[in-house]
A and B are shown apart, each in its own frame.
Chain A
């Protein structure tokens, strides 16, 4: 039988605020355990939350950018459950009246555009982190992340393949980055996705039973987890088993998912309106003000690159997938780089390097790429050397001119040095020399190559070919 996969995603994004959602503690990543805490975010008796205005603003921005309706009346609710990373034993979240709903985002897979519906976006607080203690005698709790603001973006079950799931997360991530609501650093957990997945025979309207895989924090794991779960469910069905609605844990190193049913129990979250926080009421004016001030979105930049920079559509789309890359490109262009040349370096060498190092951003600024391009244009270095310099820039973050100088990579324009090399090559390759002298002018190419190699690629090619011709002609 042929099966169709049905996927819905919940994406949690940590917002780029300075402070936590309900207290003045910093949201900075990576502090010593329990040093970004106060009585409020650790849920001490008697403390009360007060909403960070920036959280609401960022959430509205996200809602607008993801084509949602922004609620004129919205409120916070408590979601009650016990877990050590949740110090109040309830998470302040939104239940029946989320801030944003009924949005969508268009994704492109295999050249085809597809619209994925967004059910809702709501605001909530993040939980702390559990660490295993070094003796293995227990778990330790770090509340630094506790109370960091999140938005949860819930999609419709519109996604039909693992690739679409990945493309959807990429698109949402890019948009959120563009509007400045989050850095979306997946390695730091600023963006995590829960994948809800079911399969059904093609043609069947009713959804199959779904499972949920929580907290996937890389594109790779989203793709692999979805593919794996799809295969697993189909195989279960083909073996006559039924799918159980459950949460499964994806182990990315083993490439497998595990049932978490053993520790799961009836979820009865007892949502009720948070009495310690007042509702959020927004006027059309307030919403349209935020809409007007919204930073440029990827689509805006694609248009700009095609129309103003005369880039091919392919380049424009690829460059704008990630805001980091697009910002880098714009820096390079503002610093004087030719847009197409900058685009070529980014789509070629730089993206390769980012892949190789699994980086989310280029570790130096775009103006350095502009400097590199101008070194090539001035003839100081060759095209080939430029690639080499670029990978050194990537590793050392040094200025290209400094690298060229330190590594002695500038094109050799020294006639006497090149002459000496050429004479040696002529002496060593008598066969090619004789071929040339015998009328096979193509043989000079081989000789030029030998000289270039000798000069480690730094010799000025025009000068080499002129000198070589002069010397060979003298032998005639």
Chain B
């Protein structure tokens, strides 16, 4: 059931918060041993909160659309006094002494945190295979990956082990798993949701966003989590009261751009078919869809991996075995403590990116790599701006393929990186984008349609996504997820 539907039942007292929370823990009990979406559960707290929130509902006090709704968050958002691992051995036992701003906001909205979700270590990866703890399975096919890095967050919603979840998206980490798991994943404009308390991967690209079953739900979660935060200098002052404001507005005047480069080489035939069908559906609604050039799309991955790895190399330098986190037992001096703690505590992909990023910033290479990537970043943003002078949104695939087999790609890092081809430029340009289900391939694996919008134009992309969701025959098929 969706947030919208459950909200009705909670308010009409058809169902009690405690019952609902209990039901969700039963579902988790039944399904998560196969899916492995959760890293930790906070059942005692959740049950306690359920009682308090029910009291709120009984008194009809401070009710929001999320009041009493069970949810879960990616394990890279800090929860006070309870473990926040980032999917890493490095932070296996880390208990932050403070809450992330999103956690505070969700708590005050009255939604109930069920637990924390699996992810690629420090959000680096596209399959959740880089978690230090477990591999999350795709609910549509347990032999396949759920995508990543927010694989736990997407699989959790697909298997209905929470009504909604939060993920984080640095280069596609919300949208790609949403696509693989047949759910809705929204990456808001950079600065929309506070990053305070989100364990940093790449500060200039990271953004938290909702993973939900419907477009409406995504807007509802955005309403509860967006807004200026005095603890995040990069959070936006923009104050949008209702991101769902345009959902039901007439969309006849909307013009969509389809980048040719997004349907060229590298995309699987079946994914391409689904996207072409979706374009067809939009045209049937009377929306103009036109092919455009996004020439720099090919350069986005290179720029993205330089920028994100460089920032990561600095952001992850603080894990040194001294203040928190994994501490090697094997050292005789400070430098050994540093090197051994970091080498034993981080996984291979994280180390690889730290190496890449350190290299790109090191003396003599800064201009050739980091500065060059930032210049290309300017060019990519300009190219998007140009398109948005004419079009309201850009549509195309979220990922070049559907979910692949566990272990299928994990050996070749570059090949993994190339899977982010349609998502990273959105982070590079700081734009909002949503992935919504738009069909199945022949293995009955979901395909995701990505809709990219102008900066701070979430309302528009939600409207465009909603229109498709209402018309498409895909609606309803989500129930088939195991």
Contacts and interface: CB of A to CB of B under 8 A. Distances in A.
Direct contact of A and B (CB under 8 A): yes
A358 to B, nearest CB: 35
B246 interface: no
A89 B315 CA distance: 9
A87 interface: yes
B199 A89 contact: no
Contacts of B97: 39, 44
B358 A270 contact: yes
20 contacts: A39-B98, A43-B318, A45-B91, A45-B94, A46-B96, A46-B198, A46-B199, A47-B98, A48-B196, A48-B233, A49-B233, A78-B314, A88-B318, A90-B317, A272-B310, A272-B361, A275-B202, A275-B204, A276-B203, A277-B233
B162 interface: no
Interface string B200-222: 10111000000000000000000
Contact of B317 (A88, A268, A278): A88
A43 B98 CA distance: 13
Contacts of B76: 46
A51 B234 CA distance: 12
Interface string A44-59: 1111111100000000
Contact of B320 (A50, A82, A276, A278): A82
B196 A42 contact: no
A46 B323 contact: no
A88 B313 CA distance: 11
A44, A78, A80, A141: residue with the most chain B Cβ atoms closer than 10 Å: A44
Interface string B293-330: 00000000000000000110110011010111000000
A275 B199 contact: no
Nearest to A83: B334
A157 interface: no
A49 B370 CA distance: 23
A21 B165 CA distance: 35
B78, B199, B323: residue with the most chain A Cβ atoms closer than 10 Å: B323
A50 B94 CA distance: 24
Contacts of B57: none
A84 interface: yes
Contacts of B200: 45-46, 276
Contacts of B440: none
B77 interface: yes
Contacts of A48: 195-196, 231-234
B21 interface: no
B192 to A, nearest CB: 15
B163 interface: no
Interface residues of A, number: 28
A44 B96 contact: yes
A89 B361 contact: no
B84 interface: yes
A45, A80, A271: residue with the most chain B Cβ atoms closer than 10 Å: A45
Nearest to A81: B317
Interface string A273-299: 001111000000000000000000000
A262 to B, nearest CB: 13
B86 interface: yes
A268 to B, nearest CB: 5
A84 B361 contact: no
A80 B100 CA distance: 25
Given A43-B318, A46-B100, A270-B314, A276 B323 contact: no
Contact of A47 (B196, B310, B334, B362): B196
Contacts of B60: none
Contacts of B318: 43, 45, 87-89
Given A44-B96, A48-B233, A51-B233, A272 B314 contact: yes
Given A45-B96, A272-B370, 19 more contacts: A43-B323, A45-B94, A46-B198, A46-B200, A47-B196, A47-B197, A48-B234, A49-B233, A50-B230, A78-B314, A80-B361, A82-B338, A87-B323, A90-B314, A268-B362, A270-B363, A272-B311, A272-B366, A275-B204
Interface string B209-249: 00000000000000000000011111000000000000000
A42 B323 contact: yes
A433 B160 CA distance: 119
Interface string A85-113: 00111100000000000000000000000
What 7 pairs across the A-B complex have the smallest Cβ distances? A89-B317, A270-B361, A275-B203, A275-B204, A45-B199, A46-B197, A46-B78
A272 B306 CA distance: 13
Contact of B233 (A88, A141, A278): A278
Contacts of A44: 96-98, 323-324
Given A48-B196, A268-B362, A275-B204, A80 B334 contact: no
Nearest to A89: B317
B407 to A, nearest CB: 30
Contacts of A45: 78, 84, 86, 91, 94, 96, 199-200, 318, 324
Interface of B: 76-78, 84, 86, 91, 94, 96-98, 100, 195-200, 202-204, 230-234, 310-311, 313-314, 317-318, 320, 322-324, 334, 338, 358, 361-363, 366, 370
A421 B234 CA distance: 85
Nearest to B202: A275
Contacts of B94: 45
B231 A50 contact: yes
A359 to B, nearest CB: 38
A331 to B, nearest CB: 40
B91 A275 contact: no
A281 to B, nearest CB: 14
Nearest to A90: B314
A264 to B, nearest CB: 13
A247 B98 CA distance: 40
B314, B322, B324, B358: residue with the most chain A Cβ atoms closer than 10 Å: B314
Contact of B362 (A51, A82, A270): A270
A46 B233 contact: no
B77 to A, nearest CB: 7
A80 B323 contact: no
Nearest to B363: A268
A50 B361 contact: no
B317 A276 contact: no
Contacts of A272: 310-311, 314, 361, 366, 370
B76, B200, B203, B233: residue with the most chain A Cβ atoms closer than 10 Å: B233
Nearest to B206: A275
B71 to A, nearest CB: 19
Contacts of B320: 82, 84, 89
B190 to A, nearest CB: 10
Contacts of B203: 275-276
Nearest to A51: B233
B444 to A, nearest CB: 38
Contacts of B98: 39, 44, 47
Contacts of B310: 272
A87 to B, nearest CB: 6
Contacts of A49: 233
A78 B358 CA distance: 13
Contacts of B199: 45-46
Nearest to B198: A46
A51 B311 CA distance: 20
Contacts of B231: 48, 50
B90 to A, nearest CB: 10
Nearest to A267: B363
A50 B194 CA distance: 13
A473 to B, nearest CB: 89
Contacts of B91: 45
A390 to B, nearest CB: 51
B314 A39 contact: no
B322 A278 contact: no
B322 A84 contact: yes
B361 A276 contact: no
Interface in A45-79: 45-51, 78
Contacts of A51: 233
Interface string A335-378: 00000000000000000000000000000000000000000000
